[in-house]
Amino acid sequence: MMTKSSINQKILALATALFLLFPALILPVFAARADAGEGVGAAEHSADDLPEPETEELPGPEVEQLEGAYLYNFENDQVLFEYDADERVYPASTVKIMTGIVAFETFEGRLDSKITVTAAMLSEVSGNKIGFYEGEVVTVEQMLNCMLINSANDAAIILAHACAGDTETFVNMMNDKAVEIGAYSTYYTNPTGMHSSSMVTTARDTAAIAKYAYGIPGFIEITSTPKYVMEETNRCDFRNIYNRNCMISKYYSVDYFYKGAVGMNAGATLQGGYALCAVAEDAEDNLTYLAVVLGAEGDDETYYNYINAERMLDWAFMSYGYEKVLTTSQMICEIDVNLSSTLDYVTLVPEREISVYLPASVDLKKDIRYSYNTYEDTLDAPVEAGQEAGTITVIYGDEILGSCALITTSSITRSEFLYFLDRVGDFTGSRFFKATVVSAVVLSIAYVFIKASIRERRLRRRW
């Protein structure tokens, strides 16, 4: 049978054990809560809560009496319009774009190389020509100008011989280059564009070839020349060479001159119809377009290659442009600031401006959405103006137009008194402090209990 003394000893031992074990029991609880994320981490904000607006497809330009068309913007690598772009048609004079590419690359850095015109070269010439003479000494650069500006077939044949020794080998080079560019539906049989039932291309392929040519230094400069004066040679006085592209020069017609046109090729054959590769730009808005028209109808007064190209280019310049979808003065959100006695929040704005190439029909207020997040739920002072505090993304339909950082608009100083109170609060709220306080309470209770138990035992001894 246990005596009162032994019971008191056991109670004392139990209280002591609880005191010693309590920190080990309570600390894992706090740690588990922290691991579960209670009171830890930053909140995420989003302004992308509205339903996604429906974007309407922009109606294209009206085209007629043609077999294929293609409209492209260089700066944004964007196709704006297609019409039977993969239909195989006869290429007509657009062949000379590829002839020019191969000649430019063959004689790169050597355009001043001299060529002596031979009877064999001239015997292959038919159609439009300058009229070079056997034995006449010309340069590669002169032939490129005559071919690309005036669409001269004799200049194309002379270049083919100069590059490859004969036209057959040169045509193989042209076809190899077409494959390299990715114009897989294009096949050449001659360097001039004179009709051949086997020679075909598509509007898409022609656009790819024209885009490639546009990137060759000097190519677009030549095709944008209204009038070229070829210096005298050993067989002829100087020659005035006029551009046959009526968008560039008014020499052959004043009806189709196009402001902003900078090349690149125009021509026709009876079987292939009227073809045109037109490049036009708006330097002020930094926009450049390529319009390809193949197999267009035409007569002595009306040429639908020019009519359709003009419609396409006008439509592009009117229907598309750069829009500011985000500005640095645009207030996005406010974020609370702690530890300051002057301001309790700071405004966030975009770090930079974002301008995007968009259809003019886009309603910026209705069609453009913004999604943003902040790195932290609040900021602690001090805060510096221009401090990065989050990111914002601009969205149109299902397309992300751009993203940038969100930065603070002002500097906020820290209150040292509030900072001191915050540090004290952090310490008193720590797991260690809470465990210590609880342990002290348990110890105090145990001490009181033990003290009372000892006093009771002494009183009983007296009795």
Q: Which two three-digit tokens encode residue 97?
A: 């774009």
The yes-or-no verdict on residue 148 having pLDDT over 90 is yes
What mean pLDDT comes out for the span 75-91? 97
Per-residue pLDDT at 6 exceeds 80: no
- Examine the pLDDT at 386 and tell me if it is beyond 60: yes
pLDDT band of residue 344 (cuts 50, 70, 90) is confident
SS3 78: strand
The residues, ordered by sequence, that sit 6+ positions from 25 with a Cβ below 8 Å of its Cβ are none
Peptide bond into 28 cis (omega under 30): no
User: Residue 38 corresponds to which tokens in the numbers above?
Assistant: 């209670």
From CA 30, how far away is CA 44, in angstroms rounded? 25
Which among 388, 83, 356 has a CA at the least distance from the CA of 206?
83
User: Average pLDDT in the 201-209 region?
Assistant: 98
Q: What confidence score (pLDDT) does residue 58 get?
A: 76
Band of the pLDDT at 419, cuts 50, 70, 90? low
pLDDT of 412 > 50? The answer is: yes
Q: Answer with the residue of higher pLDDT: 406 or 48.
A: 406
Q: What is the average per-residue pLDDT within 135-156?
A: 98
Residue 125: count other Cβ atoms within 10 Å of its Cβ.
20
The residues near 75 (Cβ < 8 Å, ≥ 6 apart) are 286, 287, 288, 357
CA atoms within 13 A on the CB side of 457: 13
Under 8 Å CB-to-CB from 44, ≥6 apart: which residues? 373, 374
- What average pLDDT does this structure show over 283-292? 95
411 versus 292: the higher-pLDDT residue is: 292
Q: Over 80: is that where the pLDDT of 358 sits?
A: yes
C-alpha distances in Å from residue 314, one per residue of 41, 208, 279: 54, 21, 12
Q: Which of 4-13, 68-77, 190-199 has the lowest mean pLDDT?
A: 4-13
**Cβ atoms of residues 201 and 89 within 8 Å:** yes
Rounded mean pLDDT of 172-189? 98
Q: Which residues pair with 230 in a beta bridge?
A: 239
The more confident residue out of 377 and 105 is 105
Alpha carbon distances (Å) from 98 to 107, 186, 278, 355, 439: 14, 11, 15, 35, 89
Res 42: pLDDT: 40
Tokens of 450: 């033990």
Instruction: Report which DSSP code applies to 409.
Output: S
Report the C-alpha gap between 271 and 226 in whole angstroms: 27
Q: What is the pTM of this model?
A: 0.77
The chain-wide mean pLDDT, for the chain, equals 86
List all residues 6 or more positions away from 265 whose beta carbon is below 8 Å from its beta carbon: 93, 94, 96, 97, 148, 151, 210, 223, 245, 275, 276, 277
User: If DSSP codes are grouped into helix, strand and coil, which group holds residue 88?
Assistant: coil
pLDDT at 25 exceeding the cut of 70 = no
pLDDT, one tens digit per residue, over 306-325 is: 999 999 999 999 999 999 99
Convert the pLDDT of each residue in 46-71 to its tens digit.
Answer: 544 444 545 566 789 999 999 999 99
Q: Which helix (H) or strand (E) holds 183?
A: none
Residue 68's pLDDT is: 98
- Is residue 408 within 8 A of residue 384, CB to CB? The reply is yes
